[in-house]
Amino acid sequence: MAGELSPIDKAKFVAAKRAADLVEDGMRVGLGTGSTAAWLVRCLGEMVREQGLSFTAVPTSTRTAELAREMGIRVISLDEAKWLDLTIDGADEFDADLNLIKGGGGALLQEKIVATASDQMVVIADAGKEVETLGAFPLPAEVIPFGWQTTQALIEETLVSMDVLGRTATLRMNGDAPFVTDEGNYILDLHLKRIGNCRQLAMVLNQIPGVVENGLFIDICDTVIIGYGDGEVETRDINEGTVEKDRLDFVETDNLFTDLAD
Average pLDDT over residues 75-104: 98
- Directed axis angle between helix 35-51 and helix 62-70, to 10°? 30
pLDDT of residue 262: 41
pLDDT of residue 4: 80
Does residue 102 have a known ligand-binding role? yes
Q: C-alpha angle with apex 105: 103 to 106, nearest 5 degrees? A: 65
pLDDT at residue 2 greater than cutoff 80: no
For residues 141 and 167, give the distance between their C-alpha atoms in angstroms, rounded to a whole number: 13
Does residue 176 have a known ligand-binding role? no
Q: Predicted confidence band at 108 (pLDDT cuts at 50, 70, 90)?
A: very high
Q: Helix, strand or coil for residue 141? A: strand
Q: Predicted confidence band at 255 (pLDDT cuts at 50, 70, 90)?
A: low
Residue among 234, 160, 159, 162 nearest 190 (CA): 159
Handedness of CA 246, 252, 256, 262 (dihedral sign): positive
For residues 186 and 129, give the distance between their C-alpha atoms in angstroms, rounded to a whole number: 25
**Catalytic residue (choose from 46, 70, 93, 111):** 111
Does residue 3 have a known ligand-binding role? no
Does residue 85 have a known ligand-binding role? no
Q: Predicted confidence band at 257 (pLDDT cuts at 50, 70, 90)?
A: low
| Listed range (57-66, 110-119, 149-158, 250-259) with the worst mean pLDDT | 250-259
Q: Predicted confidence band at 259 (pLDDT cuts at 50, 70, 90)?
A: very low
Average pLDDT, the chain: 94
Task: Give all domains of the chain, ordered by start, each with its CATH number.
Answer: 2-131+219-257 (3.40.50.1360), 139-213 (3.30.70.260)
Is residue 130 part of the annotated active site? The answer reads no
pLDDT in tens, 182-208: 999 999 999 999 999 999 999 999 999
Does residue 61 have a known ligand-binding role? no
Q: Predicted confidence band at 251 (pLDDT cuts at 50, 70, 90)?
A: low
Rg (CA), the chain: 18
- Tell me the percentage of the chain whose pLDDT exceeds 90: 92
Does residue 104 have a known ligand-binding role? yes
